[in-house]
Amino acid sequence: MKAPDFQYQCPRTLNDALVQLSSDDVECQPLAGGQSLMPMMNLRLAQPEMLLDLNNIAELSFIREAGSHIEIGAMVRYATLLESKLIHHHIPLFVQALPHIAHAAIRNRGTIGGSVALADPAAEMPALLKALDATIEVVSKSSTRTISADDFFLGTYETALRSDELVHSIKVPVAISEHRYGFYELARRHGDYALAGVAIGAHSVEPYTNLRIVFFSISDCAVRAVEAEDALNGKLSNDSTALGNALETLSKLNYYEDANASSATKNHLARVVMQRALSKLSTAVS
């Protein structure tokens, strides 16, 4: 199927894009890498009157160091993240996880801002950002807001973003040498959406401190397993009782069912991926 007719604008500045987005004249939708939006339009699941193409806005394409954070512009593509020395040095969890996001052709076009704005419950990026305690900066013509990843993702394809706002950038705390990270996903084929996956950040291991355990593709959005974190924080990694307690808490998460797995299977897979990711938490800085 082909997309329905739409108007098209391709502004060169962020300000021009925000002015267009705030206009009441026409209902417009931002276009980033188009890897999700174009198929949705072709299937008539999205029918925007106007596409607002962000691809020529240089102000949204940057990766920079800002004190204890790395700032990433919304239009940075997955492939660019994977090639970035700053990302390799400061955000090791991205390096572990990004090769699992789709296939190379999609990573060449898909953007971090597009994934954040879409909030697909099966996507890796929302879980990574929650595990990293990242923040998301959103802008409109008249305001700028900084929202924690914990508060940004509200449900399936639902975020705290308002219709006149764009995702501007993502701010991720830099890793330090004591920090540990883990990532594990189960998919039918490498590059497919995961059946279940988990991203983990910890300020230390032996004992675990400040664990953030975040699942994706099991619930209506990336979900933190706070009770599992509580069961493990302060415990050593070889404490099998603590691990058993943490695994038990996973049965209380709100699992959904999809075409590939029942909610009971998702619960089982969550236990598997958490154990595997915890067993190989790796060092922060390579």
Distance CA 171, CA 241 (A): 36
Nearer to ligand FAD (CB atom), residue 31 or residue 225: 31
CB 269 to ligand FAD: min, Å? 16
Query: CB-wise, 159 or 242, nearer to ligand FAD?
Result: 159
Nearer to ligand FAD, 92 or 113 (CB): 113
Closest distance of CB 257 from ligand FAD, Å: 19
**Least CB distance from residue 239 to ligand FAD, whole Å?**
33
Closest residue to ligand FAD, judged by C-beta, is 114
Of the pair 20, 284, the CB lying nearest ligand FAD is at: 20
C-alpha 278/C-alpha 244 separation (Å) is: 13
Rank residues 123 and 223 by Cβ distance to ligand FAD and give the closer one: 123
Tokens found for residue 25: 């004249």
Distance in Å, CB of 74 to ligand FAD, minimum: 4
As measured in angstroms, the least distance from the Cβ of 206 to ligand FAD is 32
Whether 215 and 270 have beta carbons less than 8 Å apart is answered as: yes
Taking the least distance from each CB to ligand FAD, the nearer of 85 and 190 is 190
| Shortest distance in whole angstroms from residue 122 CB to ligand FAD | 7
| Cα dihedral across residues 266, 105, 70, 141: positive or negative | negative
Binding site residues, ligand FAD, CB under 6 A: 29-37, 39, 54, 74, 101-102, 106, 109-111, 113-115, 117-118, 120, 123-125, 166-167, 193
By beta-carbon proximity to ligand FAD, the closer residue of 94 and 193 is 193
Q: Report the nearest approach of ligand FAD to the CB of residue 7 (Å).
A: 15
